[in-house]
Structure 1
Amino acid sequence: MSEILRQHAEHQYAEELDQLRRVDTRQRPPNWELSPWAVSTYLLGGKLDNGFEIAPKYIGQRRIIEIAVSTLATDRALLLFGVPGTAKSWVSEHLAAAIAGNSTLLIQGTAGTSEEQMRYGWNYARLLAEGPSPQALVQSPLMRAMETGRIARIEELTRIPADVQDTLITMLSEKTLPIPELGSEVQAVRGFNVIATANNRDKGVNELSSALKRRFNTVILPTPASEDEEVAIVTKRVAELGRALELPTEPPALKEVRRVVQIFRELRNGQTEDGKTKLKSPSATLSTAEAISVINSGMALAGHFGDGVLRAADVAAGLTGAIIKDPVQDALVWKEYLETVVKERSEWKDLYRACREVEG
């Protein structure tokens, strides 16, 4: 097993990508490693003609992935938008891995992201010694993607200040990056494109300008449509992470996964699954990613401080921590849910007791 905690997608799933390349006879856009059909198959999973099984990376609507892949085959950039925890970064990474064979040309958007990080910077020691020169230039991931015809990824685009965001406009519309200090420019090689992510919790933080919005095709990644779909996602990712972390735990019982998912869905939707009881929602997003984290934390507890079997007591602490972000309002919401919903479900008595013990 590799000593690297988390491999890039193109390395972790190298065998699947290689198998797809072998059977992929469909037309590929310029500089693409795979055809759009093969990229979609890599993301959604399926059985190849040679019998090889491709594991799904994204469990959800097929059309969403098809639209995202088709967008990247045009001159429009792709914006993956949705609530936190809907696999935007995950989908972005796997799209870049399948299309370009390289998911590492990444810019992490923050309030401190500068224009130099988006365009290019300088090696100031060489700049002072030699003046502006190609050797003193420090390329950004976007610049490298343009030169090599690859996919650049920008995480949390709306976290980046608006004036810095707008440095993308020329690159996305003219496919050119001017370098006035050298009196030159970088022209994008065919295959270049950009995948950006943004979440709706940041709406109003640094809104995209209308000019920049027009350069993107926005694809909204929804929360899982059904409980079964969300349970399948959580079960799959928990198993993968458990193997990667070598947790000394049995795979979690489906019952425990389903309970965590049901709690998250009910609090997220503001009502019980049967629609009979209205509920208050906490400030936390309660995403699928957080459900995965709760189960993994419980598995670590069960493996290192228990008998290796995940039980309600192992899940309770992570569950409480995920839901209570505001110590006053969220605590009231959680307590009300425990008393009106969890306590009344006869098969959930163990979870009720465990959660009350965590509260003290």
Structure 2
Amino acid sequence: MKVLTRYDEFLCHQIASTFDHVETSAREWTERIIIHTHDTSGRFHLSCGMGIYRNRNVTDAFACLTLDGRTQYVVRASRELRSRPDETVVGPFSYETTEPLKKVRYALGENPQGIAYDLVFEGRMPCHEEDQQFFRVRGRVIEHVERYDQVGRAVGWIRAAGQMFRFDRENALYVERDHSWGIRREGVGEAGVQPGDIPEGYLYSWAVMQFPSWGAAYHIRELSDETRLFSSGGIFYPFESKRKELRVKGIAHDFHFRPDLRKATSGRVALIGEDGVEREIWIKPLAFACINTGGYFLYKDFVHGKWMGPEWQDGFTLNLADPAVLRAVSFLDNTSCEFRCGDEIGYGVLELVVTGKYPRYGYQGY
């Protein structure tokens, strides 16, 4: 049965139906936002997000806050989507668009973990629309996703470890946000279907960064022999500049890793724009959050999109200074970084995953 929501009031319908459901019945249909919020010293790194799974009747949210590079606080919540499909509220989490494509408010209220925040993001540069991600395996579409990224600053407050931290325009936090929707590979398993292939090796890297007068984003996926499966990127400029975004036509990378974990200790990427200019960017990691624990992969019986009942919430704290703990939770990590290009210094977020065989970086298998 269809249900009218507030979104049906707007003149923006794309199909002959209501906004409470999508055109496909694929359970993998997902709409998700993730926001990375950090300072420039490595003291704070917050990765938080919210997802809607209309064909699972689920909406969920998470926050992974790392303080001083040692302690990661995790809060996760899930609820039945209907009969409130147009409310972006899940347990103590809330998300609000106050100015489309420029300003959003995101908050975590009281919860047993003792962390909370109320932050307002304002974009400094226009949204960067990534190339569409489309993959078909054995005749079935396994990924068909639209995604945009944006950089800016956030003001507000964070409470953690019994302390209140306030941020205004003088000490505003750096923010990189990502909004995606479509059919995507999810962690919820499906019984009775042919299992997918496990690649011999794979590299995935995504980064969004902001310098004082420009910003950049890239997204690449490669097989173990460095065959490029996907490549997208852009170079963009502040709103007031009126400059048009440049598409990135070439991306090269060179990362160095810890001896005990496949976590980057430094790196360099070269972005070649459609203007023919190569921008060499050096990367220095500052802090990170292990978002596996937030639901990107199954952890403590929760993964994004899983039915957890009409209302559900949990949370825990991790000691990332303990090598055994870090080894258990590190895989898809969001890392806030310092980026240098010539004399310019910027900040942003990096995702880097290398699995299985990847000889270029010295890895011969899983």
**What TM-score comes out, normalization by structure 1 length?**
0.26
Larger strand proportion of the pair: 2
Return the structure number with greater relative CO, CA threshold 8 A, min gap 6: 2
**What TM-score comes out, normalization by structure 2 length?**
0.26
Larger helix proportion of the pair: 1
Higher-Rg member (1/2): 1
